[in-house]
């Protein structure tokens, strides 16, 4: 039988840094690190530990002796309970400082790399209401506050439409107002909940696997278009059409009103049929005159304005003259490939998701771009000698892998192909540093540009230019 952890209390702990996953860092009297969920660097706090590991503790600040000058007042009433926006209590200029520091530390400590002077991080002009996609979950047994639990009042309305409590797959926090997506996102979510409750439409119960309403997705674009998708667990036509017709009439500005009937064990829609109830089955995003068609299953960077900044950095690092053959690995829906195509002779995009490549081809056709080709396949299998022989030796390779970074075989193939330049775009500078360490004998890091895509969170993107050593 596992021994129950006995919690410790430490007094007057100075919070000295911001660490991984949005946690702050303090030091215990014995020198061990304490990762804290609710403090800001500069705070002096009493700590109650919640977990003990060999090299560190995890804990929460229970009493604040000194409040950091880096603090600011959170704007959202759900801060500290909702799992998002964990840095909302820290001034934005300090968020940027710690993001820049994380990139630098990872490249130096994990990659052990020689680095040029790192460019100052590109902050986001919009620090709230910057996301173009939000997903909310329905629940018939919402998360209760401690005050509600302690009160003896019977709580009649247990319906929720909001976010999962961190680490609790079946607990949903009912959201009053979210500061991540611009209007009419909050109005649509609020209207869906109120109308469904008023008309007796059942909210989902994940434990019992029953209920009509499962999830709500809202996508907005910089062109002003709006997509709303409601996922129903049960196939019940009358209440479904009642709700969708109401939304159509209440929000005529909705461009694409869609639904899915999904009675499987999880709520992913990638293997489900998306049905268009009203309008189109897609919306358009635009960047430098290029239009990108986005359907319910499409991947697109969730901060449109900062995606533009990220792609401009990528294009600048590539330094294209119009004569280059460029490979774009992990191309997704081909946004980077198309964005840089007017400066290149030819761009070859490779991606493992067939639907994404279909979107990429469709967008290229729509944008009248003729110097891009897209191919489907697992990167470590497709990106091989035969592929290079067929399509040509690249002058530049752009790689934008998922959070886990590149497979080791892909790194080995990159080293074998050995183009003069590689631009590595990453949403995880730790795995990026790991991959760069495998390439440092052949390539030198000549430029580094962090980009903040997600204000109020610890996440940071990073773009690195690698140039072949002579």
Q: Is-contact 408 435, C-beta < 8 A?
A: no
**Phi, psi for residue 419 in degrees, rounded to 5:** -70, 160
Residue 178 annotated as catalytic: no
95: which residues sit within 8 A by CB, 6+ positions away?
Answer: 87, 452, 455, 456
Q: Is-contact 402 330, C-beta < 8 A?
A: yes
Bridge-based pairing state of the strands 275-279 and 160-164 = unpaired
CA gap 62, 46 in Å, rounded: 6
DSSP line for 227-286: EEEEEESS--HHHHHHHHHHHHHH-TT-SEEEEEE--SSS---TTS--EEEEE-SEEEEE
At CA 160, angle to CA 154 and CA 161, rounded to 5?
165
Bridge-based pairing state of the strands 275-279 and 256-261 = antiparallel
Residues constituting the chain: 470
Catalytic residue among 76, 82, 178, 427: 427
CA gap 387, 417 in Å, rounded: 11
| N- to C-terminal Cα separation, the chain | 60
Residues that are catalytic: 427
């Amino acid at each position: 039988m596992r021994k129950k952890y006995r919690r410790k209390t430490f007094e007057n702990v100075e919070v000295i840094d911001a660490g991984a996953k949005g946690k702050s860092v303090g030091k215990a009297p014995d020198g061990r690190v304490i990762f804290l969920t609710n403090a800001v660097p500069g705070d002096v706090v009493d700590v109650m530990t919640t977990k003990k590991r060999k090299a560190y503790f995890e804990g929460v600040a229970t009493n604040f002796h000194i409040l950091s000058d880096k603090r600011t007042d959170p704007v959202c009433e759900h801060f500290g309970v909702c799992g998002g926006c964990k840095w909302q209590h820290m001034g934005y200029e300090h968020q940027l400082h710690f993001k820049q520091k994380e990139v630098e530390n990872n490249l130096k400590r994990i990659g052990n790399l020689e680095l040029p002077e790192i460019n100052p991080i590109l902050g986001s002009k919009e620090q709230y209401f910057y996301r173009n996609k939000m997903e909310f979950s329905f629940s018939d047994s919402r998360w209760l506050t401690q005050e509600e639990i302690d009160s003896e009042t019977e709580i009649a309305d247990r319906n929720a439409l909001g976010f999962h409590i961190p680490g609790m797959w079946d607990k949903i926090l009912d959201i009053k107002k979210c500061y991540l997506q611009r209007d009419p996102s909050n109005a649509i979510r609020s209207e869906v909940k109120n109308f469904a409750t008023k008309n007796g439409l059942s909210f989902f119960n994940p434990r019992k696997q029953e209920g009509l309403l499962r999830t709500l997705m809202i996508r907005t674009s910089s062109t002003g278009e709006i997509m709303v998708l409601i996922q129903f667990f049960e196939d019940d036509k009358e209440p479904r059409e009642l709700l969708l017709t109401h939304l159509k009439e209440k929000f005529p500005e909705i461009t694409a009103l869609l639904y899915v009937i999904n009675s499987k064990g999880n709520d992913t829609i990638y293997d489900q049929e998306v049905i268009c109830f009203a309008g189109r089955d897609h919306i358009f995003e635009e960047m430098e005159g290029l239009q990108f068609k986005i359907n319910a299953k499409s991947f697109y960077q969730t901060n449109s304005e900062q995606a533009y900044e990220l792609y401009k950095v990528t294009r600048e690092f590539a330094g294209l003259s119009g004569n280059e053959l460029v490979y774009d690995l992990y191309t997704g829906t081909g946004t980077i490939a198309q964005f840089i195509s007017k400066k290149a002779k030819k761009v070859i995009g490779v991606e493992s998701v067939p639907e994404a490549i279909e979107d990429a081809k469709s967008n290229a056709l729509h944008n009248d771009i003729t110097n891009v080709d897209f191919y489907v396949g697992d990167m470590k299998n497709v990106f091989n000698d035969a592929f290079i022989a067929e399509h040509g030796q690249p002058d530049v390779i752009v790689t934008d892998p998922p959070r886990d970074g590149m497979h080791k075989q892909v790194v080995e193939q990159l080293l074998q192909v050995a183009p003069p330049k590689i631009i590595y775009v990453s949403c995880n500078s730790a795995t990026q540093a790991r991959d760069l360490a495998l390439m440092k004998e052949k390539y030198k890091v000549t430029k580094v540009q962090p980009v903040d895509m997600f204000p109020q969170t610890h996440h940071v993107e990073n773009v690195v230019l690698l140039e072949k050593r002579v």
